[in-house]
Every structure is written in C-alpha cells, then in structure tokens.
Amino acid sequence: MRNIITEKLLERYKVYLTDSEKSLATTSKYIRDVRKLMEYVNGQNITKELVTEYKEYLRTNKKYKLSSINSFLIAINSFFVYMGWHNLRVKTYKVQKELFAPAGKDLSRQEYKKLVYAAKRKGNKRLAMIIQTICATGMRVSELSSVTADSVKKGVVDIYCKGKHRQVLLPGKLRKMLLVYISGNKIKGIVFCTSSGKAVDRSNIWREMKELGNESGVALEKIFPHNLRHLFAKVFYETNRDIARLADVLGHSSIETTRLYIMVSYGEHQRQLDIMGLV
C-alpha cells in the first residue's frame, strides 16, 4: 500500500484533531506542519528513509533549531499514528535543556509600561487594558475571551483551556480599572470584544501591539502578547520563589514548562555569581 498525503486526508485529519478537542491553534499548527512534509515529498510514496531525510533537511538546509524540528516531528508522527503508518514514525532530537534565556528577548517592567502608555497615547484604550490584563494575571491571549463583565465583578475568571479548568484572580487595582472600562463602554458580556460582541481575534491583538513599536521605543522583537505572560512569570517568581504555585497559576501541567519562563539571561546569571562573593 502506498503512503501518500493528500488534501482530502488532511481534511479528515483536521476533523479528527477537532473531535479530539485539540485547540484551534494546535490543530492549525499540526495541519501546517504535515503540509510542509507533503510539499517536500511532492507526491512520492512516503517511506521511513524519506521521513529521516526530511528530518535532516530541516536541520542542515533550512537551519531550523532542534526544538523547532522536534515540534514538526511531533505533528508528523501524530498524523502517521492517525493513518496507521506506525512504521514511518521518527525519533525527535534529544536537546539539552537551555541554561540561559536568549539575551535581549524579554520585556522589562519599564518597557511594559512604555507599551501601556503608547497604547493610551494612540487612543487605544482597549489595547492598553488588554496589555495590562495579560501582564497582571499571566493569562494567555487566547484566554482573554473568558474575561466577562460578570467575572470582573466577582474578581475571579474561570478559564477552560486544553481540557483543564483553573481560576485566575484579578488584582484589586486591575479589577477597578476593568470595572471603569466596562461601565464606560456599556459592556455586558465579553470585556475585550468587537463592535459585534465577539471576542477580539488574537492576530488583531498581535498586530495592534506591533504598531506600538515606534510610539513606545520598544524593540519590535520584544513586542508580542506571550512576552507579557513571561514578564508576569518572572515577577511572580521573584516575589515568592514558588515554582509549583507559579505552574498552577499559569496553567502548566509540567514544571519543566514553567522553568522556561523564569530562566535568567547569561549576564544576569553572571551578576548573581559575582554578588555571591565566593572568591
């Protein structure tokens, strides 16, 4: 039997992922990653050797990071399991855990405040509130649709994400600001919504944040919603040094994931060593 990927198979796989309650983002990524393999093999019968060749192609020709290649392989292997092509699965690369965060990638408190001020100066009050809500709670941008007028009044947001439920507390100051925003805009349901009442699209939030670059003076590569979640994680951990509690707040199943959020840069680690004064 020939192993050939077609658009019809991808459509069936997409339905399977949806029925398996994969998130929209995960489903889109898996389909996109499998389609990349489909384009590479270009109608050929897929063999284990061909998949192994593709794995090496991603590393040597495309120069992808090993962690990125692993994410592609996970998606491809998932598709193979769905198709019953178990013999085509390939192993992911073993990647040593990174000790330091990439320099110049994380937002500082000052840069975060600059983004908020820039949004206000541009007259985009909704964006200013979105930035502060993500950064003050650590919630994902995809979870903003859970912030409703009722939840703000209660001070607790119930979030159902990736098959899990958790409650996110709203800091007192943020809650007061949101109540004023809700009242001023006569909001009844979802707080961050379009004129039609639907939750704002994550791509629109990403684009609006990028537009703050010139106004704020913050480097564009630092301006994206998930970086606000990282800033929350670092400040939270600096405050209480409880990584298990931080994992619960962020909604992580594994502390290993949380660890990536609180890695310090090489320079910061060097300063910590110097402060210890052991030589």
pLDDT, tens digit (0-9, with 9 covering 90-100), for 197-229: 889 998 999 999 999 999 999 999 999 999 999
Q: What is the DSSP letter of 199?
A: B
Q: What is the mean predicted confidence (pLDDT) over 116-122?
A: 97
Question: How many angstroms separate the Cα of 262 from the Cα of each of 145, 218, 236?
Answer: 26, 21, 9
Would the pTM of this model clear 0.75, i.e. be above it? no
What token pair was written down for 40?
Answer: 């590479």
User: At residue 60, does pLDDT exceed 90?
Assistant: yes
Q: What was the pLDDT predicted at 2?
A: 87
Q: What was the pLDDT predicted at 253?
A: 87
* Cβ atoms within 10 Å of 249's Cβ, excluding its own: 20
Q: What was the pLDDT predicted at 266?
A: 64
Residue in 29, 98, 94 with CA at minimum distance from that of residue 66: 94
Type of residue at 239: T
Type of residue at 53: E
* Cβ atoms within 10 Å of 55's Cβ, excluding its own: 20
Q: How far apart are CA 76 and CA 167, in angstroms?
A: 34
The model's pLDDT over 234-258, given as tens digits with 9 standing for 90+, comes to: 999 999 889 999 999 999 988 888 9
Q: What was the pLDDT predicted at 158?
A: 96
Between 271 and 91, where is the model more confident? 91
Q: How far apart are CA 59 and CA 206, in angstroms?
A: 29
